[in-house]
Amino acid sequence: YYSSTYASGNDASDAPLRFIIIRHGERVDVMFGAGWTQRAFDASGRYHAFDPNMPPSLPHRTNWLDYDVDTPLTAKGLSQSWNVGSVLHRYNLPVTACYSSPAFRSIQTADRILEGMGRKGHVALRLELGLFECTSWYARSPINFMPDSELINGGYNIDTRYRSQMSDLRLLENEYQYYDRSKETMKKIIKLHRKTGGTVLLVAHAPSLEVLTRHLMNGQPRPERLAELAGKVDFCSMTVVERESTAKPWQFRYSLDEQANQGIWQQQLQLQHSNSAVIAPKNQSSTPAVSTAAPAPAPATPSIYQPPVTFTNYLAKPANSAQQFYLYPQQEAFPPYFVL
C-alpha cells in the first residue's frame, strides 16, 4: 500500500478537469451541544428554533432523533455556504457537476453553494457514500442517512438516477482504510468526467481535503495524523486541484483569480530552478528542509519561502484578501486551502 502503486491518481482524462473540495459549513451540534434535539423538537417531532443561529426550518424525517448524529447546519453555516457559491460565481468557476457526502450537513452545504452561484436548478446533487468520513469515528453513534424521498420533499435537487460509486461502507474502518476508500472513490469520479472535463464540486468533511488529494500529488497516506490534520480545517474551507490534460500533473490552485494563480505558479517555477533553492538531500527524508532564519513579515502579495518537494507540504494561512493566502513551509502539512 505504501509503495508507488498508491500514487496512481493520473487516470486517463481527455479534457481539463478541476475539483473543488470543500468541508461543510458550521454544524448545529458543535454550536449547541449533543443534546440540542431535545430542545428543538417537541414530543410529536415538530421543530422549533430556540436560537437565532438555529436553522429556520428542517426537513421532516421519519425519526427526528437521527438529527442528533446526522446534524444540520446552523443559520451561519447556511449563510457561509451561500457565500462560497457567490464567490465561486464571481471568479467564473461554474460547477458542472456536484457530489456530496450523504451526511445532511454536506448536502445542505452543496445545495446552498449551488444556490449562491445560481446553479441549483441546473446541477443535481449526486450523493456519494465514498465521500463520507472515517466510519470508526462514529463507532459509538451509528449514523442513519436521510433517504432521497425525504430530501426531495425537503426541497433538495437530488439526482435520483445516480448510483453511488461505493455501494456500501465498511463499518469501523480505520484511518488507513479511509485513505484507501477515498482514493478509490476519487479515481472513479475522475473516470466519470474524463471525457467531458469541467469543474466538479465535492462537498464532504474536514479530512476530505487531505484524503481525496493525497494520492493525486503522489503523497503517501498518513493515517496516524489524520485527526490532527483535519482539526486545522475550518468550516467551508476548500482546496482546488486541477489538471489541463492527461499529460499534465495535478496541481493545487493558489488563488481563485486565474491571473493571480498563474503569477504564483511562475514564482514556484522560478524558485524551483533557483541556485539558492533549499531541498533535503536525497539520502535523507523527502520532507523539504526548513530554513532556521526568522521569516520576513508577510508581504502584500502571496509569497513562497522555499520550493516544495510536493505541493502538499505547505499549510495555507489566510491573508487579508478573502481569496488569496500566504504559504509558509510546514513539515507534513495540510494541502493548501481557502478560507472565505
Please give the domain boundaries of the chain with CATH numbers for all domains.
Answer: 4-251 (3.40.50.1240), 263-329 (no CATH)
Q: Is 193 an annotated catalytic residue?
A: no
The predicted pLDDT at position 265 comes to: 62
Q: DSSP secondary-structure letter at 221?
A: P
* Helix 75-90 with 104-116: angle, nearest 10 deg: 40
- One-letter amino acid of 60: H
The predicted pLDDT at position 283 comes to: 39
H helices of the chain, in order, are 28-32, 36-40, 75-90, 104-116, 148-153, 175-192, 208-211, 226-230, 258-272
Contacts of 21 (CB under 8 A, 6+ apart): 202, 204, 208, 209, 212, 213, 238, 239, 240, 241
User: Going along 244-338, which residue ranges are E strands?
Assistant: 251-252, 314-318, 325-329
Average pLDDT, the chain: 80
Q: Which of 181, 193, 205, 253 is catalytic?
A: 205
The 10s digit of each residue's pLDDT in 251-271 is 998 778 777 777 766 665 565
The 10s digit of each residue's pLDDT in 68-117 is 999 999 999 999 999 999 999 999 998 999 999 999 999 999 999 999 99
Q: Is 23 an annotated catalytic residue?
A: yes
Q: Which of 18, 24, 61, 215 is catalytic?
A: 24
Q: Is 205 an annotated catalytic residue?
A: yes
What is the rounded average pLDDT of the residues 118-126? 97
Q: Which of 23, 119, 181, 193 is catalytic?
A: 23
Indicate if the pLDDT at residue 2 is higher than 80: no
- Concatenate the DSSP letters of all residues of 69-126 into one string: TS--B-HHHHHHHHHHHHHHHHTT---SEEEE-SSHHHHHHHHHHHHHTT-TTTS-EE
Q: What is the signed CA dihedral for 100, 104, 107, 113, rounded to 10 degrees?
A: -130
Q: How far are the Cα atoms of 217, 241, 328 from residue 290, in angstroms, in the given order?
A: 20, 25, 10
The predicted pLDDT at position 330 comes to: 32
The 10s digit of each residue's pLDDT in 188-235 is 999 999 989 999 999 999 999 999 999 999 999 999 999 999 998 999
